[in-house]
């Protein structure tokens, strides 16, 4: 979904960049010329069932996540494995920081029903990773550990992804109208990035507008403090939430720390995103 390497390092860097996230990246349009990502951010609904909310441990930190369709959704579009949640309090420290792809090689396949438009978006995003970062996305032959791009909604513009390397087959789901920037965002979760807005230092740069957040969704704006933020906070990171993510009234849920609005253009990597990923995968 449009929502830590936060540019967390695997965004903590997995944190928006923290280990799993840091970069966690973003379009300025008039009210009558919005792009699909903006529309998706504005029309997120309260479809979440409170009964599906669970408490768990990630990297030794208690988190809230949603159990839906047999998957563990964290911060909207990050899917955690049962193992990642179970390891939270162990010496392994769980969390994304330990789940890097061996040698930075990510094998992938694309579901046959994806459609040519989204296949082209995937190809463009793969080229961005292969040309600008130390990770390499490689078409799968017979590898047992790989990612499959699957087709999500035929009328949506969101996506979701398992975070970090989990072993076996894992998934990136893409809706029909998702942008290339948001494909890069979801692939960032696979690489190990969390959302940028969840970085430990975020309050120095942004202000969460709690009163504007949909009922039951405030947990998506909690900091992820168990990872390691990489590099400076980057409000334009491809891993950043939208200014109006989960808004209940059309007003911003995230502003700059000085309480002014900001415009987010998720078009691709920033230099900070690239540096974060390359720090994770030297």
Residues designated catalytic: 186
Q: Distance between CA atoms of 174 and 152, rounded to whole angstroms?
A: 5
> Which residues are CB-neighbours of 16 under 8 A, at least 6 positions away?
4, 5, 6, 7, 8, 22, 23, 24, 193, 194, 195, 196, 197, 198, 199, 229, 237, 239, 240
| Phi-psi category of residue 264: left, alpha or beta, with phi > 0 → left and psi -120 to 50 → alpha | beta
Cβ–Cβ under 8 Å, residues 161 and 172:
yes
Is 185 annotated as contributing to ligand binding? yes
> Is 197 annotated to bind ligand?
no
246: which DSSP letter? T
Annotated binding site for Zn(2+): 185, 189, 195
């Amino acid at each position: 979904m449009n929502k830590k390497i936060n540019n967390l390092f695997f965004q903590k860097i997995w944190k928006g960049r923290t280990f799993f996230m840091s970069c966690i990246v973003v379009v300025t349009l008039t009210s009558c010329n919005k792009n699909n990502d903006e529309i998706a951010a504005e029309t997120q609904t309260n479809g979440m069932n409170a009964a599906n909310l669970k408490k768990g441990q990630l990297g030794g930190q208690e988190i809230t996540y949603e159990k839906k369709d047999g998957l563990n959704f964290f911060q909207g579009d990050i899917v955690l494995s049962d193992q990642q949640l179970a390891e939270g309090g162990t010496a392994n420290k769980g969390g994304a920081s330990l789940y890097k792809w061996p040698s930075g090689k990510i094998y992938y396949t694309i579901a046959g029903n994806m459609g040519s438009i989204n296949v082209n978006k995937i190809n463009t995003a793969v080229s961005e990773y292969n040309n600008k970062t130390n990770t390499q996305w490689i078409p799968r032959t017979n590898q047992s550990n790989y990612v499959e791009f699957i087709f999500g909604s035929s009328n949506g513009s969101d996506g979701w992804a398992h975070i970090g390397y989990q072993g076996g087959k894992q998934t990136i789901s893409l809706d029909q109208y998702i942008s290339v920037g948001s494909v890069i965002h979801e692939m960032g979760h696979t690489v190990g990035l969390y959302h940028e807005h969840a970085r430990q230092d975020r309050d120095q740069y942004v202000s969460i507008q709690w009163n504007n957040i949909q009922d039951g969704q405030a947990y998506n704006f909690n900091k992820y403090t168990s990872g390691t933020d990489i590099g400076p906070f980057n409000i334009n990171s491809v891993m950043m939430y939208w200014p109006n993510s989960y808004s209940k009234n059309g007003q911003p849920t995230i502003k700059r720390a000085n309480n002014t609005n900001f415009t987010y253009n998720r078009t691709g990597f920033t230099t900070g995103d690239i540096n974060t990923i390359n720090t994770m995968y030297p």
